[in-house]
Structure 1
């Protein structure tokens, strides 16, 4: 029987990745299409991609597929040919990472979900396939130069913070399901203006563009292939990049540099910095921005309290974090929220 799940622990898999000598290519792709039997399709994908030594995170639902992965360079064409052999994925756009060390993933996970993008949409009349017009890098730049254009960033706050398009409006939330109605509310009165929506690889802004049209907006566009594809096209065509800073990515890299602009600041000392990290205290594991000096001062932790916790015996650390549900533990806009569960973590 073919292997359909990973059986090896994470630490060993990480070590194996670091010992690999062949270059890996980090890719992402998505497609909205109807999948009749997601569990069966999941097993089919896992078996074939595992055979090609693909690592990554792939989500399937009845509405389609969403994937971030890495593949050995020598297997890239074989992976592409396999995906293209699936009729609904033939000709699929595969985004190749811009700033890549090949160490983005170390295990293959293929999971079935209710939706590939959790959107909170319950309206049966909503049609995902009635979506906005695609724009490429050339058109994106032209529209950005038009004063009648509104640009909406459909990513989370911590993504926007380290890099975004000039003139881009942030929808101040960290969940896509909250952002959709907020975007509609914020854009009221602009129904006839050009509205461009963008995200990392295209999957969120494609659905968002369909939702805006559903809500009565007329001139809705979305960036084809998202920031990743835009950056590659801009470089190939010699265009000025209107995206400034870093593109946050959901893998071990936590970001790929698009331009040299550093538009964010260290969450601890306030100096210019756009390096995301996770707090080394596993009872916290907060995602935040930290400069090199603060990383040394706090031993990779988000606070003195977490650094002190890290110095405790391992069994005591386990006791302190027992029963704590970290959830999506990220730095938000207020410094007062930098340590959201410190009292709980430290048993206060």
Structure 2
């Protein structure tokens, strides 16, 4: 009877989530797992419950623990999800990252049972569900307003990731490789804002990505998903987030006063100080009237001639910003003997490797292999 009750708790939505998170269509999963297409369809549509042997096959294929399929799902329906993506980004790749955001939510909600996280301190300066374009001059003013509210002054920001974590935003990284997506974010009703960043970018470009996502949270987080999905709106919304990121990272009053040349050498020096890519620096200088069009074009041609459009000077020097909030919370649980590593993995019922990646833990940190080590002391 107890066994029957356990299997009756199978959550079909978890199967859909795991399948989409791994990028499988229903037919592809059936083929790889050796289960019929019809059977998978029935499991997902609540018409049948898989036996344990079949569920083990599916779990192994999707690289999730079997217990994952018995855990109530966290709804991702509230709030718009923003994707900083290329035109070639597919619906499949967006679903993969939407589910990763859900997993991040599960991790931080679990940790909030034990810790008081920083209070959410992110100003929503536009509070409407319908998208209406905002003039760039207004966006510049809003970026300055956020800086003032956080007492940042007008100088370079030393660590964007830490700044946003202190403001109550959960930040995580994950490999985005071939998905044509640079970053994504979500701020559901009654939830913490979450930003998921690619770990495949340079330090300077990644800082711009996180500032871009902050722009979405400040300017667009109340609009409906359908508004963001409209092709005509999407380009405008993305350009507004880019403008916010540029103004937030490079205030015109301070950054503008430091522009004395359009030489590559000068831009490299500015990049070292402001930790923003040379191309973003040049674009900002042009947009606020410090570079003429021909000066901007000259600089891009110079970078192209030096084969530096994708790998700029200092890209191997600037320190990459890593999120620390989730990592510190998990390590604190372990180090203070509140939970073992096995407890955390078991109670989250998420793939161990995925927890490690999304929480910024070193690979293998949550492995139970360490439990097999017997401490010995030399004579």
TM-score, normalisation: structure 2: 0.27
Larger Rg: 2
More helix by share: 2
Q: With CA pairs under 8 Å and 6+ residues apart, which has the higher RCO, 1 or 2?
A: 2
TM-score, normalisation: structure 1: 0.28
More strand by share: 1
